[in-house]
Structure 1
Amino acid sequence: MAIYTAKAIAEGGRDGHVKTEDGKIDVNLVTPGTGSDEGTNPEQLFAAGYSACYDGALNLVAKNQKKDIDSTVTGEVNLNKDETDNGFKLSVVLNVEITGVSQEEAEELTAAAHQVCPYSKATRGNIEVTINTEAK
């Protein structure tokens, strides 16, 4: 049973428009690499969502382990050529900076967060996800 449902409406594909039902997101879309800065693209939206969700999971894991941390997650979503079908595929890099713990503890926290983050669960086995962890 869903505890929350987000609804977005897209028209015009990569050179169109997307908005959420509540109007909080209402942006033009542009194809990456076209040189246009008149909008965003699905990869940027996915990077924003994944990095925010992952950071939330990381802080939940840290709280449950009684660790006081500050963290920043920079998500990179890559649009790659897919040689298997001459189409495209995605890959993700999450660059995680954590203060308040050692490097070893930071790596343990990021591994645990990757197991509970809903975006990580959704992408597991489907796309390549790399997590780079740095304790500050």
Structure 2
Amino acid sequence: MTIQQIAPLYTAVATAENGRDGRVSTDDGKLDVVVNPPKEMGGSGAGTNPEQLFAAGYSACFQGALGVVARREKADISGSTVTAKVSIGKTDGGGFGLAVELTASIPNVDAATAQDLLEKAHQVCPYSNATRGNIKVELSVV
């Protein structure tokens, strides 16, 4: 597999302290959150967790990619939403892995058009490009 090369337009910087049971903050101070393992993984669940942060980033990025595709296709995606469900679980090799479900609601287009827009956005979205071939990503329309 060829490693994708980019010409950076922006670089986000975040620093974690104490891993999954600590704090994550960005260098510009716009994000500063307590992270704790969820109760389902034996933690307190008091703070957010890396999977929620990834789901937030992926859903926002994918919604942006959907907008790019919609403009190209001249499709009306006003009022649309994208929800990302990020699951974490054990892999066969003894480590941990992720799986993602992306669900979109696009009220102003028919189901076939919505699915086509999702498939095309999946080719544009940087998160999709970063995860392709590495984790399972399912796309669906509601």
Q: TM-score, length-normalised on structure 2?
A: 0.90
What is the RMSD computed on CA atoms of the aligned residues? 1.0
User: Which residue does the alignment assign to 2:102?
Assistant: 94
Q: How does 1:1-136 map to 2 (within 5 A)?
A: 1-32=7-38, 33=40, 34=42, 36-70=44-78, 71-83=80-92, 85-134=93-142
Structure 1: which 4+ aligned runs deviate by more than 6 Å?
A: none
| Whole-Å separation in 1 of the counterparts to 2:37 and 2:127 | 23
Q: What are the ranges of 5 or more consecutive residues in structure 2 without an aligned counterpart?
A: 1-6
Q: What are the ranges of 5 or more consecutive residues in structure 1 without an aligned counterpart?
A: none
Does the Cα contact within 8 Å between 2:88 and 2:96 map onto a contact in 1? yes
Secondary structure, aligned partner of 1:99: coil
**Percent identical across equivalent pairs?**
55
User: How many residues are aligned here?
Assistant: 133
Q: Greater share of strand residues, 1 or 2?
A: 1
Does the Cα contact within 8 Å between 2:37 and 2:45 map onto a contact in 1? no
Q: TM-score, length-normalised on structure 1?
A: 0.93
